[in-house]
Chain A
Amino acid sequence: MSIDIETAARVAKLARIKVEDDALPALAQEFSRILDFIEELNEVDVEGVEPMVSVEPMRLKRRVDGVTDGGMQDKILSNAPDAREGFFAVPKVVE
């Protein structure tokens, strides 16, 4: 399967990764190679086979409903480039 430059640019945009125009052809080619490999895997007949989700049989770990975390506004905001009055401040986003 071949990924064109336009698709590569779109995927980059959706992932919010900045890719310069001259880097796109190489990226598109890399994507294509990955997808070719996936296509190869797709040739294996897995009809009726349960997808394996872990090597060991494991049960999803659960937690009881209790408040055990939070109450650390300063720590949560400490990496924010801009924080005001307890909020993250970001460039205006309005739909």
Chain B
Amino acid sequence: MLDLTYETPKPKVIAGAKYDWELVIGMEVHAQVASQAKLFSGASTRFGAEPNSNVSFIDAAMPGMLPVINEYCIEQAVRTGLGLKAAINLKSAFDRKNYFYPDLPQGYQISQLYHPLVGEGEILVDMEPGIARLVRIERIHVEQDAGKSIHDMDPNMSFVDLNRTGVALMEIVSRPDIRGPEEAAAYVTKLRQILRYLGTCDGNMQNGNLRADVNVSVCRPGQYEKYQETQDFSHLGTRCEIKNMNSMRFIQMAIDYEAKRQIAILEAGGKVDQETRLYDPDKNETRSMRSKEEAHDYRYFPDPDLLPLEIEQAWVDDIKASLPELPDAKKARFVGDFGLSEYDASVLTAEVANAAYFEAVAGEAGDGKLSANWVINELFGRLKKEDHSIEDSPVSPSQLAGIIKLIKSDAISGKIAKDLFEIVYTEGGDPEKIVEERGMKQVTDTGAIEAAVDEIIAANPAQVEKAKANPKLAGWFVGQVMKATGGKANPKAVNELVAQKLAQA
């Protein structure tokens, strides 16, 4: 009932010098859990604090300090898994991923390689109305973030801030089901939307709270279908991983560049090396991050400081019962219950706050479509002009519903409604009262309109003759009447009366 039917988009094809090529993309998205404290310590996760002030001895890896897990972070990861229709593993475990870097004082990251908390799920990635890609999620595991190195404060030194060290991340790993740069950006957009609906990650990409590693490979048409049939990766090309992308636009540009780079290598008879690359937005290119010799050997092993994480099905069930309505369901409901187009429903459900605002308006105004038009075109347009979010809207849902009710009852015309909206937006107040007090009410009194029509017909005999020969010119009379009544005449009544009077004249 809730499922909207959709078609699968066509994969992006890039024409090389010799052949056509298709893209195959998989993503690893790191989403910071929206928690107060870190994954294994009681230090704050607050962004923008003094350097090294949100650091405990555990985060600084002082000898003898032991990690104690933050239960809320686990709950949020489970919630995320449930929101992606994923299997929850009641038993998972933590492993050490060993590598050496100044912003990782432990010398290892606590992660979940062998037994992740969340198993297979899925995300429906909307491309345009009626077209969507179902992307499979392979797993979600919980891990620690590293600190931050700053390289541009001193010519010879790097500066390290451990405030981020140990903050809980969910690494959400997709299958290679994404088939183009636009789909990749749409995937991140949809994932971000779901996370924000769930409240498990704030999705702030600028602060690095959501960032993506993008795995890109290219193959000749037909190869991908062979992979899907067999799940055998040998049908696909060698992939490169572009690390740490935190902008939708750069994700697309990086994929585009990387695909073309690989195609050029392959068409010249070369071989793509599996490696980690970094995207440079200034030059719009990707470059190798680590040489092959230094290929990481992470020497994963189970973390001896942490027992396996065992959770109870009843707890998972409780979390499931508390899930909010998610974007796909909300969109389907808006289409079904309010008769909205899929496009309008997508716009309104992009953010929970927008959807809630619309529902409040539509509920009170009793007209879904008209409410959608007003929220999307007038309100969003006006808010955008001043760079306001819906939370700062000077017009409350109740006020907007009031305006819509006045339109519906024919008390004001659509044109006057826009003036009224502007007054409510800038000055506030009760729309109904404003209409009363400022005499904005539509004139539906046919007597008054009739008088105005008669007057204009009498004053313009030449126009009358012309209009008789060409009925399209009746519009001029309608315009004159509207002008004479200050725009308050009911346009429908005016149209009817003008046509009637001209026929009699």
Contact = CB atoms under 8 A, between A and B. Distances in A.
B42 A63 contact: yes
Contacts of B35: 65
B160 A90 contact: yes
Interface stretch (A22-30, A31-39, A40-48, A53-61): A53-61
A70 B69 contact: no
Query: Interface majority SS on A: helix, strand, loop or mixed?
Result: loop
Interface string B82-102: 000000000000000010111
A88 B162 contact: yes
Contact of B51 (A54, A60, A73, A93): A73
B338 to A, nearest CB: 37
B385 interface: no
B159 interface: yes
B261 interface: no
A73 B52 contact: yes
A76 B52 contact: yes
A89 B3 CA distance: 55
Contact of B297 (A14, A58, A61, A72): A14
A89 B60 CA distance: 15
B53 interface: yes
Interface in A3-24: 14, 16
A64 B72 contact: yes
A67 B51 CA distance: 17
B98 A14 contact: yes
Given A64-B72, A67-B43, A70-B44, A86 B50 contact: yes
Contacts of A67: 36-37, 42-44
Contact of A70 (B42, B153, B289): B42
Nearest to B56: A69
A86 B479 CA distance: 71
Interface in B40-77: 41-44, 50-58, 60, 68-74
Contacts of B57: 69, 76
A66 B308 contact: no
Contacts of A72: 53, 55
Contact of A87 (B52, B70, B74): B52
A53 B93 CA distance: 11
A88 B98 contact: no
Given A73-B50, A94-B151, A95-B289, A63 B69 contact: yes
Contact of B43 (A16, A69, A82): A69
B66 to A, nearest CB: 9
Query: Interface majority SS on B: helix, strand, loop or mixed?
Result: loop
Contact of A89 (B69, B157, B307): B157
B36 A90 contact: no
Contacts of A14: 98, 100, 297, 299
Given A89-B154, A92-B151, A94-B151, A59 B307 contact: yes
B470 interface: no
B278 interface: yes
Nearest to A63: B68
A20 B309 CA distance: 41
Interface in B152-210: 153-162
Contacts of B289: 95
B2 interface: no
B484 interface: no
B156 A65 contact: no
A84 B150 CA distance: 12
B51 A65 contact: no
B418 to A, nearest CB: 47
A62 B310 CA distance: 11
Interface centre among A70, A73, A76, A84 (most CB of B within 10 A): A70
A91 B42 contact: no
Nearest to B100: A16
A84 B60 CA distance: 17
Nearest to B55: A76
Contacts of B306: 60
B33 to A, nearest CB: 9
Contact of A88 (B53, B71, B159, B290): B159
B149 interface: yes
Given A63-B68, A65-B37, A77-B52, A92 B158 contact: yes
Nearest to B41: A69
B308 A53 contact: yes
A58 to B, nearest CB: 6
Contact of B70 (A65, A89, A93, A94): A65
A94 B310 contact: no
Contacts of A87: 51-52, 150, 153, 159-161
14 contacts: A14-B297, A54-B307, A58-B307, A63-B37, A65-B36, A69-B56, A87-B51, A87-B153, A88-B159, A90-B157, A91-B157, A92-B155, A93-B101, A93-B151
Given A65-B72, A88-B161, A89-B158, 8 more contacts: A59-B307, A63-B69, A65-B36, A69-B41, A71-B53, A84-B157, A85-B51, A91-B157
- Shortest Cβ-Cβ A-B pairs, 7 listed: A68-B42, A65-B72, A87-B159, A69-B42, A70-B43, A69-B56, A88-B160
Interface of B: 35-37, 41-44, 50-58, 60, 68-74, 98, 100-102, 107, 149-151, 153-162, 278, 289-290, 297, 299, 306-310
